[in-house]
Amino acid sequence: MGYTVPVGISNKHMHLSQADLETLFGKGHELTVFKELSQPGQYACEEKVDVIGPKGTHKGVRVLGPVRASTQIELSMTDARSIGINAPIRESGDVAGSPGAKLVGPAGETELKEGVIVALRHIHLTEDEAKDAGVKDKEFVSLKFDGPRATVYEQVLIRVNVNYAGECHLDTDEGNAAFVSTGAKGEIVK
């Protein structure tokens, strides 16, 4: 058995800039923690926003904190298509040239020019964990799952940072396709 990491399945969510947060929730608004996430310093918020595309709406998409430099909406391919958005697969933070969407909050709305992506699947590791796993930051590996839908996902990006906790992030499409849910273990294969 090789090095294994637990899986975290990401449902659709968004990260907001302070400016967009204030447009949607009111001047001076600050995010309210709903639940800490497994990556240190990251949290799910009480705040939810409607995401509107050309063909439909996802109501009440959860905001994750803290605020970021730019707003980013992370949808699965299924979620994006269902509201008529053809979103690219991107690493988090890389939103240049991606499609936008209309965001509606309790205090206002904004028409995003860009920011809707399907997150590139990735594995967060600390430096020690990366050493143990024999992988480096920005390397692509495969991740193998057992079970009735045994699957090997290729092109899984390694992201190494002292502040991370060892975890593979997949979206709901990827989790469903491999029949794995949060807490399942995947084996890193090179």
C-alpha span between 99 and 161 (Å, rounded):
29
Give min distance, CB of 72 to Zn ion, in A: 12
End-to-end CA distance of the chain: 13
C-alpha span between 160 and 124 (Å, rounded):
6
Give min distance, CB of 121 to Zn ion, in A: 9
Q: Which stretch binds Zn ion (CB under 5 A): 17-25, 139-147, 169-177, 182-190?
A: 169-177
> Which of 103, 169, 178, 184 touches Zn ion (CB under 5 A)?
169
Interacting positions 107-136 with Zn ion (CB under 5 A): none
* Between 52 and 178, CB nearer to Zn ion: 178
Q: Look at strands 185-189 and 140-145 and give their pairing.
A: antiparallel
Report how far Cα 141 is from the mean position of its chain's Cα atoms: 18
Widest CA span of the chain, in angstroms?
53
Give min distance, CB of 49 to Zn ion, in A: 20
Give min distance, CB of 153 to Zn ion, in A: 14
Give min distance, CB of 171 to Zn ion, in A: 10
* Number of residue whose CB is nearest Zn ion: 169
- The answer to the question of residue 15 lying near Zn ion (CB under 5 A) is no
Amino acid occupying residue 107: A
C-alpha span between 119 and 58 (Å, rounded):
17
- H or E stretch at 43: strand 43-53
* Between 28 and 41, CB nearer to Zn ion: 41
Which residues of the chain form contacts with Zn ion (CB under 5 A)? 169
